[in-house]
Amino acid sequence: MKPTSNTQQMRKAAVLCCLLLCSVLLGGCWDRREVNDVAFVMGTGLDKEGDQYRVTMQIALPGQLGSSGSTGGGGGTSGTKSYYLESKTGPSFRGASTEEQREVSRTLNYSHRRVLLLGETLAREGINKMMDVIARIPQNRLSSLVVITKGSAMEMLQADAPIEQYPAEMVRELNFSYMKNPRSVKLLMNSVLLEGIDPVVPVMSLVKNGPDSLKDKKTNIQVDGLAVFRQDRLTGVIDNHLSRFLLLGMEQAKETEIFIPPPKGRGYISVHLIENKVHIKPFIRGNEIRMTIHMNCNGNVKENETSFDISREENLKWLEQQTVEEIKRELGEAVKEIQQKYHSDVLGLGRAIITNHPDEWKRIKPQWEQLYPKVEVTIDPVVHIENIGAVTKPFGVKKEQIQNE
C-alpha cells in the first residue's frame, strides 16, 4: 500500500524539524580569534629591579618574518626587525604582564614561547614565584627552555643575533647544541621539587662578533657555563671550561673536546668525546658517605698538531690514559667547587642514595645538607678512542721527526 500525500508531507516536516534542531546544537564561530588580533610572544625576560619585577616580551612581527632584503637586526626588511620588544615593571610578574597588555593592541599569546630568560639577580633571590605564574596559566608552554643571563635579561632580548630571525630563537638553538636535554620549564620544576638533586641551567651573555677593528660589528649571544642552584636559588656559576666536564658527569655533554700535550715537544692532540655513560655508586657506613662516578666514554681524534705517532697501539693507549687523567682532574675540580663552594648537588648524589639505599636516605635526609659537602667523590672514567682520522701519522712531519714513544 503506497503512503498517502499527507503522510509524505508529515515525514518531510519531521525531517525539517530535526535539521533545525541540529543547527541549534552547532557551536559556530562565536569565540573565534583572528591571527591579526593576536600578538605571539616568542621569548620572555624576567628581571628584578629593586622591589619591582621587570617583564620583557619579544613579540613576533609576522609581516617581517622570511622577508627578502633583510639587513640584520633580526631579519627585517630594510633594516627593520622581525620582532617588537615590550617591557614593563610591576609589583609581581603578572602585574607587569598586565601593564604590558595595556600598551599592546593585540591579545598577548604565550603558546608559542620558545625561551624564558631569567636575570642573574632575580635567580639568586629564588624562582618559585616565577614558576607559580608559569604553571598556573595553561597557555604557558612547559617545554619553553630556561636560561640564566649574565646581567639583564632585557638586554639579551635586544641582541642583534643576525644568524636567526630573533634573539629568542638563537638562545633556543644554543641550548640544543650545548646539552643533550636542555633545561625546560618542566625539567626545572621537577628538579626543584625532586629530592636528592638540585637544578642546573645554562648561563648566557652578550658578546661582540669580532675585535674592535671589525666594521659593522653585531652583538651575539654565547654560552658562558652553568648556573647551579640550591633548591630554587642560584648559588653560583661554573665557568665554561669546568662546565664541559660537569656536563660529562651529568651525562648531558653534547660534544666535549680535551686537549692532551705530547710526552715530548709542543702542540696538542685533540680528543673529541662523542658519547658517554655515567653510573653513580654510593657507599654508606654511618655518616661516612663515599661516591664513585663510573664513566664510559667513546671518542675520536680531531687534530694532532704534534709529532707524536698515535697510530701505534701502545701510543694510542697512552693517549686514552692521558684523557682519563684529564677527566679525573677537571671533573674532580668541578665537583669540589659545587660541593664546598656552592653546596649544590647538581650531579644527583642524593638521588643515587635514594635509588640504591632508600632506607639509609630516610636516616640521613635530615642532615644531608651538612653531610653533602663532606662526601668523598671518586671519579672512575674509561675512555675508548674509536677513530684517529683518515691521516694516521702526524701530517706534514718528516719520518725521522716522528715520535714513536
* Region of residue 53 (phi > 0: left; psi between -120 and 50: alpha; otherwise: beta): beta
Domains of the chain: 35-240 (no CATH), 255-405 (3.30.300.210)
Taking the C-alpha atoms of residue 148 and residue 122, their distance in angstroms, rounded to an integer, is: 9
Nearest-angstrom CA–CA distance, 176 and 167: 15
pLDDT recorded at residue 122: 93
Name which of 235, 227, 240 is nearest 330 in CA terms. 240
Question: Where is 258: in which H helix or E strand?
Answer: strand 256-260
Per-residue pLDDT at 7: 74
Residues 6+ apart with CB under 8 A from 62: 35, 40
CA torsion sign, 237 to 238 to 239 to 244?
Answer: negative
Low-confidence ranges of the chain (pLDDT < 70): 1-5, 23-32, 64-80, 390-405
CB 295 within 8 A of CB 380: yes
Q: Is 57 left (phi over 0), alpha (psi -120 to 50) or beta?
A: beta
How big is the CA angle at 113 (ends 109 and 117), to the nearest 5 degrees? 125
DSSP string, 56-100: EEEEE-TTTTT-TTB-STTT-BTT--SEEEEEEEESSHHHHHHHH
Q: Cβ distance 264 to 403 under 8 Å? A: yes
Q: What is the distance between the alpha carbons of residues 198 and 372, in angstroms, rounded to a whole number?
A: 12
Concatenate the DSSP letters of all residues of 113-125 into one string: --EEEEEHHHHHH
Query: To which H or E segment does residue 185 belong?
Result: helix 185-193
In sequence order, what are the residues at sequence separation of 6 or more whose Cβ sits closer than 8 angstroms to the Cβ of residue 292?
A: 280, 281, 283, 377, 378, 379, 380
Query: CA–CA separation, 336 vs 384, rounded Å?
Result: 26
Q: Is 225 helix (H, G, I), strand (E, B) or coil?
A: strand
Of 323, 190, 195, which is closest to residue 258 (Cα–Cα)?
Answer: 323
pTM: 0.84
Q: What letter does residue 150 receive in the DSSP assignment?
A: S
**pLDDT of res. 387:** 87
State the helix-helix crossing angle for 185-193 and 128-136, rounded to 10 degrees.
120
Contact status, residue 186 vs residue 177, Cβ threshold 8 Å = no
User: Which residues in 309-358 belong to E strands, given as ranges?
Assistant: none
